[in-house]
Amino acid sequence: MKYSFGLLGLAAVACADNVVQLTSDSFATEINKHELSMVEFVTPWCQYCKELAPVFEEAAGELEPKGIPFFKIDCDDEKELCDNQKIGIFPTIKSFRGTQVREVYNGRRTVDEIVTYMTRSNRQNVTSLYTMEEFNEFKSADKISLVGFFEAEDAMSRSHFEAVAEELRSTYSFGSAADVALAKTEGVEQPSIILYKNFDSGKEIYTGDIKEDEVKAFIKSGVRPILGELGPGAEFTWEGLPLGFIFAETKAEREKLTKIFYSFAKSVKDKIGLLTVDPAVYENLAATLDLKADSFPAFAIRGADTTSRYPFELQGKISELTEKAVGAFINKFLDGEAKRVPRAPTAVTVVTNDNFKEEVIDNKKDVLVEFYAPWCGYCKKLEPAYETLAMMFRDESDKVSIVKVDATENDSPEQVKSYPTIMLYPADGKSKPVVYAGDRSIVDLASFIRDNGTHGVKNEKVEDAIEQNKKEAAEKSNKHEEL
């Protein structure tokens, strides 16, 4: 229910208690009143917009005491405004500083994540730390925090550090300390930067030139775990690097292999990412890497192009996955001498103008279509997850089809304004495809097919992952309430 909102008359209306709906007439005036604000661009027919609404409302309520307002734009009513904001997917969430777009929010759509993101965005780029108490509290408050140790007169180093902080402050915490005594307690000299983290060694030290590109490269490397574990719904943090997957069926074996490879993984961390994997959860990943389904433990490399595969020939015995043997294999790969396995036939159906009607429209399947561009980095990043998704639905190929269209070479619907755009054509609603606007994870994509398709096809592993995600979200929510 909508009602008049005080001084703005009909220009803005309140949605429930905390989110204010704006129009073209009130948008610029209202958001310009605030140093920081968050705006959701939605439509009444968008299912994901409906699911976001209570989350957005609750996050707005939590941040209202901090003076951070949340707004909403109905893009059906305010088409010109949304076109000017280049809104092509619903919902789209943006943070603003005054009338200037700060950035599009691409984080998880949970209350905790949105509140954390906006809280970080609202604080100073760099927090000045004067006492040991302030310093100790700051460095342990977040999963990842960075502290720059600069002399008070070193304006140049601080300027470059602040520029990086302005770009990344919604992701990490940044502080600075001018007191040389604080630097000495950490065993560093000025100027230097320490990245504190609650995993691996606990911190990384940077003593090179304090310049923006160099500092960002240091952060990108420092936030990568030396050897992580791939779990349901997890996101890769090794973008642009090849990945080495260590498959083992039991937790004990994965822990043992982590200890075996940890030192070697540390030595190649900036060249290749290493992760342990439970093959029962990621059996399709093992298959795409040309590993035998009944022969674990096993190891394989996937190239940075996300399509090339290099399986280690010895499989089935943990005694054969030694640091020396696998290390030599990895080094051979890094030197460009490893034997590449021919690319397996894709499980994703390639569609063009010639077969679009047949593959997408004239059938009784729920068809998920990715409209992509060959040069699009986000499309390339999506490729392994989309391929795995297609493999997961192979047994339901009479009800579900996963396809892709090169939108630069073929016709595409008017809704395709950015890449990748993902749309579901339900079996009984081909004339009304549903645009996907969620996280591009396997779990969320499969849930989208289940919830919006005619057949409501469920995948057992996806359902298990969904339950696990719900459990983790509940635990996070309880922790958040306690804090």
Active site members: 46, 49, 376, 379
Judged by phi (left if over 0) then psi (alpha if -120 to 50, else beta), residue 250 lies in beta
Task: Please state, as a whole number, how many other Cβ atoms lie within 10 Å of the Cβ of residue 434.
Answer: 22
What is the enclosing helix (H) or strand (E) of 228? strand 227-230
| Coil vs helix vs strand at 23 | coil
**CA dist 99 → 32, 33, 103, 169, 259 (Å):** 5, 9, 12, 20, 51
Contacts of 277 (CB under 8 A, 6+ apart): 229, 230, 245, 246, 247, 248, 285, 286
What is the enclosing helix (H) or strand (E) of 333? helix 323-334
Q: Are residues 45 and 8 in contact, defined by beta-carbon separation less than 8 angstroms?
A: no
Q: What is the DSSP letter of 341?
A: B
Residue-by-residue DSSP string for 342-368: PPPPPSSEEE-TTTHIIIIISSSSEEE
